[in-house]
């Protein structure tokens, strides 16, 4: 299984980015997908998740209303649209997958390599 995240970069506060994560080696439609992030010196934290077989989503309070997670099962891809970015969003963002799981913080089986997002003030 491989999860390939991309789309990170440097953006000014208030700007937007869209992250993508392409999955291979699994039946994508059977996996709940999540996004996590880790800032320097901090623990990894949950950002958002989208459930398999439905569009049910779950967000961390810190990103609710600014970030949107979506998926395209035909393309084996999960997206994270990030709007109104703030410097506190600066982190390495990781995608993750779990088989037929709930859209929650826990229980992910596979992880991608991460993509850096830097928000300047």
> Which contiguous run of DSSP H or E holds residue 117?
strand 115-120
pLDDT 10s digits, 33-88: 999 999 999 999 999 999 998 879 999 999 999 999 999 999 999 999 999 999 99
CB 18 within 8 A of CB 93: no
Q: How many residues comprise the chain?
A: 121
Residue linked to tokens 């949107």: 68
Residue, of 51 and 102, whose pLDDT is higher: 51
């Amino acid at each position: 299984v491989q999860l390939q995240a991309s789309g990170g970069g440097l953006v000014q506060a208030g700007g937007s980015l869209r992250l993508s994560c392409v999955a291979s080696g699994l039946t994508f439609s059977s996996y709940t997908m999540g996004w996590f992030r880790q800032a320097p010196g901090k623990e990894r934290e949950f950002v958002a998740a989208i459930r398999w077989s439905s569009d049910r989503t779950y967000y961390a309070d810190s990103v609710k209303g600014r970030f949107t997670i979506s998926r395209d099962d035909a393309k084996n891809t999960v997206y994270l649209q990030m709007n109104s970015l703030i410097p506190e969003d600066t982190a390495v963002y990781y995608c993750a997958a779990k088989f037929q799981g709930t859209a929650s913080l826990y229980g992910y089986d596979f992880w991608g390599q991460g993509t850096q997002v830097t928000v300047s003030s």
